Amino acid sequence: MTRLSVNVNKIATLRNARGGNNPNVLKVALDCERFGADGITVHPRPDERHIRRSDVFELKGQLKTEFNIEGNPTPEFVDMVLKVKPHQVTLVPDSVDQITSNCGWDTKTHQAFLTGVLEEFNNAGIRTSVFVNADPEMVEYAAKAGADRVELYTEPYASMYPVNPEEAIRPFIEAARAAKNCGLGLNSGHDLSLVNLAYYHHNIPWLDEVSIGHALICDALYLGLEKTIEEYKKCLI
């Protein structure tokens, strides 16, 4: 079964735009679980422009499904993750001022650094995932660095899908096969939506998890959160 992890960053963005605690990030996360989500993802950034450190600690104590924390493994991030001990940590090469994630790790160039960070998390009993482009070599070096999983950066797929679905999915199938051959688990995320998710899953049915935030929250404005999660889960059957 491919699990749906809902990224609640956009809920925190909306809250922070007005101050106070409306919408309540914890309540929305718990509602996502109640409506069928298999996990919750957060991506805290140093400026706390959406998810705050306090959110991360509060969520850990209340969630009943899997908790995934993703971000750039700065010393502060590593310290927070080791204290919270989520089910999974996803390493993403974000710069401090980056609006959103827009590339995967060069796992070959940064193999030594990633090896050290992954070892620290693995020793703490936290499942590790490395955010990579759909490149078999990057997948293979993530395995060499000691990752449990890779998460394929799917924005290129989403951009090309309306024009040429077959060409859009091709490099992702190759990267997904490389992950399977390396014994890695497989996650995917970024710009996956109700438009393109079913086709992606149909071609890569051994996916372990998709992490979806922006498109899912946008769809919820029209469909409602419960119906939206139901529709995304249907794409993963």
**What are 29-78's pLDDT values in tens digits?**
999 999 999 999 999 998 999 999 999 999 999 999 999 999 999 999 99
Report the pLDDT value the prediction gives residue 98, as an integer from 0 to 100.
53
Token duo for residue 177: 């096969």
**Is the predicted pLDDT of residue 96 greater than 80, yes or no?**
no
Report the pLDDT value the prediction gives residue 100, as an integer from 0 to 100.
58
Report the pLDDT value the prediction gives residue 103, as an integer from 0 to 100.
80
Structurally, the chain folds into a number of domains equal to 1
Residue 70 annotated among the catalytic residues of the structure? yes
Token duo for residue 100: 């959103």
**Is the predicted pLDDT of residue 99 greater than 60, yes or no?**
no
Residue of 33, 50, 151, 190 marked active site? 190
**What are 68-89's pLDDT values in tens digits?**
999 999 999 999 999 999 999 9
Q: Which amino acid is at 41?
A: T
Full residue range of the structural domain in which residue 53 is found: 3-234
Report the pLDDT value the prediction gives residue 95, as an integer from 0 to 100.
64
Residue of 33, 43, 66, 140 marked active site? 43
Residue of 66, 70, 140, 151 marked active site? 70
**What are 103-148's pLDDT values in tens digits?**
899 999 999 999 999 999 999 999 999 999 999 999 999 999 999 9
**What are 187-199's pLDDT values in tens digits?**
999 999 999 999 9
Which residues are 187's β-sheet partners? Answer: 151, 209
Residue 50 annotated among the catalytic residues of the structure? no
Residue 190 annotated among the catalytic residues of the structure? yes
Q: What is the CATH number of the domain that holds 145?
A: 3.20.20.70
For 212: left if phi > 0, alpha if psi spans -120 to 50, otherwise beta; the answer is: beta
